[in-house]
Amino acid sequence: MFGYLSRRVLATIPVMLLVALFVFSLLYIAPGDPAAIIAGDQATPEDVDRIRASLGLDRPFLVRFFEWLWHVLQGDLGTSIFTNLPVTHLIAQRVEPTLSLTLCTLIVSVALAVPLGVVAAARVGTWIDRCVMAFSVLGFSVPVFVLAYVLIITFSIELEWLPVQGYRPFREGAWEWLRHLILPSMALGTVYIALIARITRASMLDVLTHDYIRTAQAKGLSSNAVLTGHALKNAAVPIMTIIGIGIALLIGGAIVTETVFALPGIGRLTVDAILRRDYPVIQGVILMFSAIYVIINLAVDLSYMFFDPRIRY
């Protein structure tokens, strides 16, 4: 068991190094002079030189990369060109809205999607199943910001039930905090729910054909006990995998959702950084999101040991 654990943990190190190398070399891959592009159209040659020096573009690639990596390992993601503040500081300021949004969405989505998939599989071919599948195809097809505007127009502008935009910190009251997160979470969660429900249904249908399910039914277990105790636990590995992979959708979607609902989170920071071509910030955010993505998928991998003890090779 410790062998598997340590192998999986160690395997993430080269992946993260590659991500770091890639994020760093983006500056060099891009066509044209990155310093000139970042400086913008109205920049003087001095501005361009200043940016080139501050990005270290005047020094050799590998020297610069290891220097940068050394700083990153010490928790220093560089300094924003636009605000002159440390990138880690900018990110820390904006963590709360993004964390609130993604955690709310994650919890609600998994709590809704897994039962939906299980019911669809248990009632395969009925109208319940058809509804879940139709919802799943629709969920894949309506982009997050389109859905977000439909929700705003319906629930905020027409019905006036929920706020149009904005964020309230948790310490100013849990109810206001939650009220501002309902629509963003619904918009962000739909595609995630669609994905998880679809895989849950497929995985359950696969498991339900096995002999041990018939045995469990034959010995008189209630269908609920068979579904949750026997089938769902055995169907869990693909479901956990897709929950982990789907985090990429949540991260990409959070950037858009924060823009639509004016949430002052890391997504908003990213969009502002893109518009100002504040490259150190973009680099830092991508590296951080990728690290989170890798760590979550590592945790998912390790969870397989719980759902399927055979995996402890």
Partner 1 sequence: MSAISVSAAPKPVASTWQFVKDAFRRHPTAIVGAAVLILMALIAIFAPWLGTVDPQAVSPIKRLKPPSAAFWFGSDMLGRDVYSRVLYGTRVSLSIGVAVALFSTAVGLAIGLATGFIRWVDAIVMRIMDGLMSIPPVLLAIALMALTRASIGNVILAITLAEVPRVVRLVRSLVLTLREQPYVEAAVAAGTTLPRILVRHILPNTVAPLLVQATYVCASAMITEAILSFIGAGTPPNIPSWGNIMAESRSMIQIAPALLLFPGLFLSLTVLAVNLLGDGMRDALDPRLARRM
Backbone φ and ψ for 161, nearest 5 degrees, come out as: -85, -35
Separation between Cα atoms, residue 100 and residue 96, nearest integer Å: 6
Separation between Cα atoms, residue 223 and residue 139, nearest integer Å: 29
Of residues 196 and 273, the one with the C-beta less far from partner 1: 273
Instruction: Show the tokens assigned to 202.
Output: 């497929």
Stretch that binds partner 1, among 68-76, 106-114, 141-149, 212-220 (CB under 8 A): 141-149
Contacts to partner 1 from residues 180-209, by CB under 8 A? 198, 201-202, 205-206
Contacts to partner 1 from residues 23-62, by CB under 8 A? 23, 26-27, 30-32, 34, 37
Q: How far is the CB of 309 from partner 1 (least distance, A)?
A: 25
Q: How far is the CB of 294 from partner 1 (least distance, A)?
A: 5
Upper half-sphere CA count for residue 159 (Cβ side, 13 Å)? 9
Of residues 256 and 305, the one with the C-beta less far from partner 1: 256
**How is residue 231 annotated by DSSP?**
I
Tell whether the torsion through CA atoms of 302, 305, 310 and 313 is positive or negative.
positive
Contacts to partner 1 from residues 77-136, by CB under 8 A? 124
Of residues 159 and 218, the one with the C-beta less far from partner 1: 159
x-or-dash string of contact with partner 1, 210-249, rule CB under 8 A: -------------------------------------xxx
Of residues 53 and 157, the one with the C-beta less far from partner 1: 157
Instruction: Check binding of 286 to partner 1 (CB under 8 A).
Output: yes
Instruction: Check binding of 304 to partner 1 (CB under 8 A).
Output: no
Q: Vertex 136, ends 132 and 139: CA angle to 5°?
A: 135
**SS3 letters for 152-185?**
HHHHHHHCCCCCCCCCCCHHHCHHHHHHHHHHHH
Size of the site for partner 1 (CB under 8 A): 61
**Kind and range of the H or E run holding 312:** none
Of residues 145 and 170, the one with the C-beta less far from partner 1: 145
x-or-dash string of contact with partner 1, 150-179, rule CB under 8 A: x-xx---x------x---------------
**Kind and range of the H or E run holding 140:** helix 127-141
Closest listed residue to residue 162, CA positions, set 186, 150, 180 = 180
Within 10 A of 283 (CB to CB), how many other CB atoms are there? Answer: 22
Contact (Cβ atoms closer than 8 angstroms) between residue 268 and residue 259: yes
Q: Which amino acid is at 155?
A: F
Instruction: Check binding of 16 to partner 1 (CB under 8 A).
Output: yes
Stretch that binds partner 1, among 67-75, 90-98, 171-179, 278-286 (CB under 8 A): 278-286
Determine if residue 277 is left, alpha or beta; phi over 0 gives left, psi from -120 to 50 gives alpha, anything else beta. Answer: left
Candidate residues 146, 174, 225, 299; the one interacting with partner 1 per rule CB under 8 A: 146
Q: Which residues are at the interface with partner 1 (CB under 8 A)?
A: 14-16, 18-19, 21-23, 26-27, 30-32, 34, 37, 124, 137-138, 140-146, 149-150, 152-153, 157, 164, 198, 201-202, 205-206, 247-249, 251-253, 255-256, 259-260, 270-271, 273-275, 277, 279, 282-283, 285-286, 289-290, 293-294
